[in-house]
């Protein structure tokens, strides 16, 4: 049984946010990836379209989440289901860092509005 300790997690940073990766094929997962996201105050991530379903659970703070052009304010304890093909954006308009827990299947890719594609290492 693989156990991933906090000291074993791998940290990635992109677009002003931190992704602390716990479950990937490198850590022993065969189907799923999971990470803690840290979204600092004032961060606005670019809208991107995902190719895999993501389950985004907000642990602390508040965020503005945009799905296909519709924006919702979410607070700690809320869960957002992001279906494949959905344009997804995240903004933290508050003065404190928000933290999330995200799970998806291995092979997640995100296409940005300019057509560039990101294959995040924390989800592959």
Residue in 48, 55, 38, 52 with CA at minimum distance from that of residue 102: 55
pTM beyond 0.85: yes
Q: What residues pair up with 91 in beta bridges, in sequence order?
A: 44, 64
Average pLDDT, the chain: 95
Question: Domains along the chain?
Answer: 8-123 (2.60.120.10)
Q: How confident is the model at residue 83 (pLDDT cuts 50, 70, 90)?
A: very high
Whether 1 shows a pLDDT value over 80: the answer reads: no
Cα separation, 77 vs 10, whole angstroms: 24
Q: 76: number of CA atoms within 13 Å, CB side?
A: 7
pLDDT per position as a tens digit, 6-42: 999 999 999 899 999 999 998 999 999 999 999 999 9
Whether 47 shows a pLDDT value over 70: the answer reads: yes
pLDDT per position as a tens digit, 21-30: 999 998 999 9
Cα separation, 97 vs 51, whole angstroms: 27
Cα of first residue to Cα of last residue in the chain, in angstroms, is 20
| Tokens coding 50 | 């995902």
Q: For tokens 């995100």, what's the residue?
A: 110
């Amino acid at each position: 049984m693989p156990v991933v300790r906090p000291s074993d997690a791998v940290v990635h940073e992109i677009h002003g946010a931190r992704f602390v990766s716990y479950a990937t094929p490198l850590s022993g997962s065969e189907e799923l990836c999971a990470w803690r996201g840290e979204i600092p105050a004032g961060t606005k991530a670019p809208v991107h379209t995902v190719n895999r379903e993501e389950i985004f659970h907000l642990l602390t703070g508040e965020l503005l989440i945009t799905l296909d052009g519709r924006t919702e304010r979410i607070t700690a304890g809320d869960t957002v289901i992001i279906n494949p093909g959905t344009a997804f954006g995240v903004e933290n308009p508050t003065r404190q860092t928000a933290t999330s827990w995200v799970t998806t299947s291995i092979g997640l890719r995100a296409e940005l509005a300019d057509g560039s594609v990101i294959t995040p290492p924390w989800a592959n």
